[in-house]
Amino acid sequence: MSGPMSGRLAVVGLGPGDARQLTPEAAEVLAAADALYGYGPYLARVPPRAGQVRHASDNREEGARAAAALRHAAAGASAALVSGGDPGVFAMAAAVCGAIDMGPAEWRSIELVIVPGITAMLAVAARIGAPLGHDFCALSLSDNLKPWELIERRLDAAAAAGFVLALYNPVSRARPWQLAAAFDRLRRQLPAQTPVVFGRAVSRPDESIAVTTLGAADPALADMATLVIVGSSETRVIPRPGLAPLVYTPRAASGASA
Ligand code: SAH
């Protein structure tokens, strides 16, 4: 081969779990890759193909995983790095951009393709109605990569501004108290009857959804596979006979009680 051996790196979103929620583009890019990189349980979702190499890694090794995939692509391969949901939402796309930003100049010649996926908040919202039907924001409650004080400031500001909140990474084994602290923080500003949705493992066989209120929300309902949506003062719950309630945030906001 003549010229620089610059390959290709695709950062691919796998969606929330169900194979039907993986886009045709993602399936095509995954099938075409010479090598797959990613967190083991995510890689396990990708159908095997003969001749394709797999490099499974631990969830915590984001930077090392990005660098390994970039080195492989720089050597001329077509590599794919997988993320759950969308790769740009609290996931590998920013880790790869960060590695390119800080890494060797040759990594800037790699063809980088980011393939979007259905992110958890959209999958959870679709199950329950339209809680994100008006203005909303997404926060990660993980304080691995930012101080807890910053998370509290953002919770305060989001609640004060009347946003519905989608809370990613509500708890983990290493972070047992953060969700309870976040609920306490939000209770200072939001009424006790504010709707709260716990969406766990949505689109997977062990999916469960619970609708409650901020006053009654039990942090123990959440685990690492749960996304929590906290409504705004406009968010409504419609009880339905024999059916799950519908949670929605109306298309129009008065701004009266935000
Ligand atoms: N890139 C992913 C998010 C990674 S952060 C995405 O776009 O969805 C990991 C967090 O995502 C989890 O702690 C949980 O809050 C949420 N999550 C991922 N998959 C989920 C699912 N199937 N159901 C509910 N929440 C999920």
Residue 169 CB–ligand 1 contact under 6 Å:
yes
Residue 220 has pLDDT above 80, yes or no: yes
Find out whether 132 and 164 touch, Cβ atoms under 8 Å. Answer: yes
CA of 137 to the centre of ligand 1 (A): 15
Within 10 Å of residue 165's Cβ, how many Cβ atoms? 25
Q: What is the chain's mean pLDDT, rounded?
A: 94
Residue 5 has pLDDT above 70, yes or no: no
Best of 115, 139, 168, 208 to mutate for ligand 1, by most ligand atoms within 8 A of CB? 168
3-state helix, strand, coil in the chain (%, to 5): 30, 30, 40
Q: What is the rounded CA–CA span in Å between residue 105 and residue 110?
A: 10
Q: Determine the average pLDDT of the residues in 6-25.
A: 96
**In the sheet where 243-248 sits, what is the strand order?**
129-130, 243-248, 236-240
Percent of the chain surpassing pLDDT 70? 97
CA of 217 to the centre of ligand 1 (A): 19
Q: Determine if the pTM surpasses 0.75.
A: yes
Residue 258 has pLDDT above 80, yes or no: no
Question: Exposure of 3 by Cβ count < 10 A (0-12 exposed, 13-18 middle, 19+ buried)?
Answer: exposed
- Please count the residues of the chain: 258
Atom of ligand 1 nearest to the CA of 92: 1
Best of 90, 175, 200 to mutate for ligand 1, by most ligand atoms within 8 A of CB? 90
CA of 145 to the centre of ligand 1 (A): 17
Q: Determine the average pLDDT of the residues in 29-36.
A: 96
Q: What is the rounded CA–CA span in Å between residue 161 and residue 139?
A: 14
Query: Tens digits of per-residue pLDDT, 148-191?
Result: 999 999 999 999 999 999 999 999 888 889 999 999 999 999 99
Residue 107 CB–ligand 1 contact under 6 Å:
no
* Per-residue pLDDT band at 4 (split at 50, 70, 90): low
* pLDDT confidence of residue 2: 40
Query: Tens digits of per-residue pLDDT, 67-109?
Result: 999 999 999 999 999 999 999 999 999 999 999 999 999 999 9
